[in-house]
Chain A
Amino acid sequence: MGLFDIIAGKRKLARPAPDRLFAMSTAYVTFQTELSIATRGVAGIVFQALETADFEQIAQDMIEVVEGTSSDSGTTVETRDDEYDYRWMILRDQDFDDLVVGVNAVSGALEAGGYGDRILCAVFAFEDARGRPLYWIYNYKRGAFYPFVPGTGDHERNHERELRLKAQIGAELPIEGELERWFPLWGIPI
């Protein structure tokens, strides 16, 4: 944000950064082979559902887009509103590549409708060899991923494992550099 933005008071939402979502597809190979982290066959994309006339139509179109792109892969789509009034499009597919493609189709449809700046993030659900959940969250505004591992207590997260995951995956994923932007997501419905 430049000096003029500060002087004039910037009031625009950041546009999505260049898309690096598909880095997740390649990184997943490493997850499986080296880290024994497996997909739970589910991913979600979170956005603000605006109460405008055309938004519901666009949301409806999105579902059709995903079901269209995945007619042979068999991705299922489910919509849910969470307690913070954000909408989740939950995609289920055992094939991880199809999940990434599906998430990309949703964000693409939102952007084409002019609502790209409403996307909060995409979430991919995994579990480790012992079945404990872990998530990789993709921040569209930053074009970067970060891990999110819920801890045992209420609203606690396992920072140690998150940092270890970051080290393990190394350069394969574009990882959010600023730790204070590793925003947790509580109550993930996937």
Chain B
Amino acid sequence: MARPTSFGRDTGLQLRMTLTLFLLGLVYAVLVGVVFASGYSWLVFIVGGMFLIQIFASDKLALHAMGAREVTPQEAPQLHAMIERLCVQANLPKPRVAVANTPMPNAFAIGRSPKKATVCATTGIMELLSPSELEGVMAHELTHVQNRDVMVMTIASFFATIAAYIVQFGFFFGGGGMGSSDDDSPSMAVVILVSVVVYVISFMLLQALSRYREFAADRGAAVITGRPSALSAALMKISGSMERIPQRDLRASEELAAFYIFPPHAKQSLMNLFSTHPPLEKRIAALSRLESQLQGAA
């Protein structure tokens, strides 16, 4: 046994991801504590209900928003066959396969569990990339499915959503009563203040988490296909054409952005802290580290 696996470990990434989730939990614990102490706990249940609806209904909505349509193996034999082989490699059940008819080169995966997952490629990406590059992109999406990233991100953002609602509701209801001096007002003000702080911090943590999970999906794609450089080439091609193709076709909502292979609203990494995806250079650098591990040079 010269080498048990083709790639090294990524302890650093796992640590950062776990730390981010831990910090999120901490921030959320503060929020929940304050909300329950103030007696506005019914808010949690309202948002909880909406949250469940989101989990169970978002798939179809998202596909519809993207103008994507599920395709049969007869309609897209190459794409199906490619995904089937990747599924065998990744030890996943086969997801549904959809195609969105838009020149924007992109791909995304949705679905709360591997059995309910749908992976979608745009016609633009299928024309732009070579088969091995497209394979890298689809493997990236399948890793999102395998890591249950939709579920993880939705759950992780649950309390951030609550905080956002409290801020909105708070200004709506409590904001008017702020001037009057009944006993509840200070408590509401505190809740709003805490919510604002929680929202800002958790937003940044969530974006960090999203970036880590992109790195993880890039890595997973490299592991599944054994060709990190093909994914690098795909990312460079996509980002190159992203800048050239006008964005008139982007009807997708912002929440979906985290699940794309490449962020549709990529402003060059001015504000890394507020971005769902790591900058291209860092993704390429991580992939080329994997390539050298694979080649046994690292």
The answer to whether B143 and A11 touch across the interface, beta carbons within 8 angstroms, is: yes
B87-112, CB < 8 A from A: 87-91, 93-94
Pick the contact of B89: A52, A120, A154, A178 (CB < 8 A). Answer: A120
Pick the contact of B77: A115, A154, A183 (CB < 8 A). Answer: A154
The answer to whether B5 and A8 touch across the interface, beta carbons within 8 angstroms, is: no
Interface of B is mostly: helix
Pick the contact of A117: B5, B217, B294, B295 (CB < 8 A). Answer: B5
- Chain A 92-133 near chain B by CB (<8 Å), digits 1 or 0: 000000000000000000001111011011000000000000
Q: With the chains together, A6 CA to B114 CA distance in Å?
A: 12
Check if A142 is an interface residue, CB within 8 A of chain B: yes
Q: With the chains together, A132 CA to B117 CA distance in Å?
A: 35
Write the nearest CB–CB distance from A1 to chain B, whole angstroms.
Answer: 7
Write the nearest CB–CB distance from A27 to chain B, whole angstroms.
Answer: 21
Write the nearest CB–CB distance from A176 to chain B, whole angstroms.
Answer: 11
The answer to whether A13 and B17 touch across the interface, beta carbons within 8 angstroms, is: no
The answer to whether A7 and B18 touch across the interface, beta carbons within 8 angstroms, is: yes
Q: Number of contact residues on A: which range applies?
A: 35 or more
Pick the contact of B17: A8, A51, A115, A178 (CB < 8 A). Answer: A8
B283-297, CB < 8 A from A: 294-296
Check if A180 is an interface residue, CB within 8 A of chain B: yes
By beta carbon, the residue of chain A nearest B2 is A114
- Chain A 32-62 near chain B by CB (<8 Å), digits 1 or 0: 0000000000000000101111100000000
Check if B238 is an interface residue, CB within 8 A of chain A: no
By beta carbon, the residue of chain B nearest A121 is B88
Q: Given A9-B213, A114-B3, A180-B94, check contact A48 B146 (CB 8 Å).
A: no
List chain A residues, Cβ under 8 A from B295.
52-53
Check if A29 is an interface residue, CB within 8 A of chain B: no
Q: With the chains together, A52 CA to B2 CA distance in Å?
A: 14
List chain B residues, Cβ under 8 A from A14.
90-91
Q: Number of contact residues on B: which range applies?
A: 35 or more
Most buried by A among B94, B131, B135: B94
Q: With the chains together, A1 CA to B147 CA distance in Å?
A: 9
By beta carbon, the residue of chain A nearest B81 is A186
List chain B residues, Cβ under 8 A from A118.
6, 226
The answer to whether A7 and B17 touch across the interface, beta carbons within 8 angstroms, is: yes
Q: Given A9-B147, A50-B226, A183-B84, check contact A142 B152 (CB 8 Å).
A: no
The answer to whether B220 and A11 touch across the interface, beta carbons within 8 angstroms, is: yes
Check if A85 is an interface residue, CB within 8 A of chain B: yes
The answer to whether A85 and B219 touch across the interface, beta carbons within 8 angstroms, is: no
Interface residues of A (CB under 8 A from B): 1, 6-14, 48, 50-54, 84-86, 112-115, 117-118, 120-121, 139, 141-142, 153-156, 178, 180-181, 183-186
**11 other contacts beyond A11-B10, A180-B94, A184-B84, with CB at 8 A cut-off?**
A8-B17, A9-B14, A9-B149, A13-B89, A13-B90, A13-B223, A50-B227, A118-B6, A141-B91, A154-B74, A178-B93
Q: List 19 A-B contacts (CB under 8 A).
A: A1-B146, A6-B148, A7-B152, A8-B18, A9-B212, A9-B217, A10-B220, A12-B5, A12-B223, A13-B89, A13-B91, A48-B89, A114-B4, A114-B5, A155-B74, A181-B93, A183-B87, A184-B81, A186-B77
